[in-house]
Amino acid sequence: MAHATGLILSSSSRFSRLGYSYSTRFLRQHTNPLPVPRFRCYCSDETSPSPSVKKRVVSGVQPTGSIHLGNYLGAIKNWVTLQDTYETLFFIVDLHAITLPYDVQELRKATRDTAALYLACGVDISKASVFVQSHVRAHVELMWLLSSSTPIGWLQKMTQFKEKSRKEGGENASVSLLTYPVLMAADILLYKSDFVPVGEDQKQHLELARDLAQRVNNLYGGRKWKKLGGRGGSIFKIPEPLIPQVGARVMSLTDGLSKMSKSAPSDQSRINLLDSKDLIADKIKRCKTDSFAGLEFDNAERPECNNLLSVYQIVSGKTKEEVMEECKDMSWGTFKPLLADAVIEHLSPIQVRYEEITAESAYLEKVLSEGADRATEIAEATIHNLKQAMGFYI
Do 288 and 304 touch, CB atoms closer than 8 A?
yes
Give me the catalytic one of 55, 77, 164, 336. Answer: 164
- Phi, psi for residue 393 in degrees, rounded to 5: -85, 110
Choose among 325, 296, 319: nearest CA to 308.
296
Q: Which of 127, 224, 237, 259 is flagged as catalytic?
A: 259
77 tagged catalytic:
no
Q: Which of 61, 296, 353 is nearest to 202 (CA)?
A: 61
142-to-59, 183, 210 alpha-carbon distances in Å: 17, 8, 15
A 10 A CB-CB count for 224 gives 17
Closest-CA residue to 89 (of 200, 193, 238): 193
Q: Which residues are 371's β-sheet partners?
A: none
Residue 247, Ramachandran bin (φ over 0: left; ψ between -120 and 50: alpha; else beta):
left
Q: Which is catalytic among the residues 262, 283, 336, 366?
A: 262
Q: Which residues is 197 bridged to in the sheet?
A: 242
Q: How do strand 195-197 and strand 128-132 relate by DSSP bridges?
A: unpaired
**Does residue 262 have an active-site annotation?**
yes
Q: Cα 44 to chain center, whole Å?
A: 15
Relative orientation angle of helices 332-358 and 277-286, to the nearest 10 degrees? 150
Tell me the catalytic residues.
Answer: 164, 259, 262
